[in-house]
């Protein structure tokens, strides 16, 4: 499973990228707002750092507006994936942009039918929002499983990008189901390395080593 980082924090992206943990980046208007930076400036910096797809989101609500904004965002770098919402206008924009050879990430997906429409429209990525479904007492991972089954049934090439990831457990489940990509905040990716038994075992090893009075260096 590929890891995308869901942030516009370039320092956090750089740290994870140096460890080989970054296959791409997803941004959205809320993340750009948190960064406090100009969208084109910060997106260009991210694209220069990461060779994989970097999703930059349109904010227009009509298809023509999304297409125009997407083409403008695409000028930032070749690895831009234009992000559009899963509305009827968004699907029209997706079809037009993919027909021109551009990567498109269709976001805010909450149902298998929506995912099926996005695949038919040629989306490069479909972004089902796991955490937001969990918030309303539905199991977001059920949606990932449904989309995986549908796409596999018909050989759709659209990649399932599990989004709104809230925990390391979400990452495990997405990988087991077969999501192509999971995008998560930097802290969630870091927490994947944590386990209390690892900490307990390391503490015991260090105490035993200290008792030997030896040094490696």
Does residue 149 sit within a domain?
A: yes
Q: Tell me: the pLDDT tens digits for 100-149?
A: 999 999 999 999 999 999 999 999 999 999 999 999 999 999 999 999 99
Which has the closest alpha carbon to 118: 78, 150, 141, 142?
150
Instruction: Give residue for tokens 């989004």.
Output: 163
Buried b (16+ CB within 10 A) or exposed e, 12-40: bbeebbeeeebbbbbbbeebbeebeeebe
Which has the closest alpha carbon to 183: 162, 155, 159?
162
Q: Has 2 been annotated as catalytic? A: no
Q: How many domains does the chain have?
A: 1
Could you count the other beta carbons within 10 Å of the beta carbon of residue 93? 28
Per-residue pLDDT at 108? 98
Per-residue pLDDT at 172? 98
Q: Which one is catalytic: 83, 120, 191, 200?
A: 83
Does residue 148 sit within a domain?
A: yes
What does the mean pLDDT of the chain come to? 97
**Residue range of the domain that includes 131:** 2-212
Does residue 217 sit within a domain?
A: no
Q: Tell me: the pLDDT tens digits for 175-213?
A: 999 999 999 999 999 999 999 999 999 999 999 999 999
Does residue 70 sit within a domain?
A: yes
The whole-angstrom separation of Cα 209 and Cα 212 is 5
CATH number at residue 148: 3.20.20.70
pTM for this model (two decimals): 0.95
- Stretch (H or E) spanning 108: strand 103-109
């Amino acid at each position: 499973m590929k890891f995308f980082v869901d942030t516009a924090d370039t320092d956090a992206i750089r740290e994870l990228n140096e460890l080989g943990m970054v296959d791409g980046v997803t941004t959205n208007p809320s993340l750009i707002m948190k960064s406090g930076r100009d969208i084109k400036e910060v997106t260009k910096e991210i694209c220069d750092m990461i060779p994989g797809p970097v999703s930059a989101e349109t904010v227009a609500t009509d298809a023509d507006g999304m297409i125009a904004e997407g083409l403008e965002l695409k000028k930032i770098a070749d690895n831009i994936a234009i992000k559009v919402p899963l509305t009827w206008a968004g699907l029209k924009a997706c079809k037009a942009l993919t027909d021109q050879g551009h990567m498109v990430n269709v976001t805010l997906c909450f149902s298998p039918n929506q995912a099926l429409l996005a695949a038919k429209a040629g989306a490069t990525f479909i972004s089902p929002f796991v955490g937001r479904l969990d918030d309303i007492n539905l199991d977001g991972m059920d949606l990932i499983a449904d989309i995986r089954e549908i796409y596999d049934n018909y050989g759709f090439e659209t990649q399932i990008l599990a989004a709104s990831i809230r925990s390391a457990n979400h990452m495990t489940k997405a990988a087991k189901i077969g999501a192509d990509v999971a995008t998560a905040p930097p802290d969630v990716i870091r927490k994947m390395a944590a386990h209390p038994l690892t900490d307990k075992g390391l503490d015991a090893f260090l105490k035993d080593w200290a008792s030997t009075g030896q040094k490696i260096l």
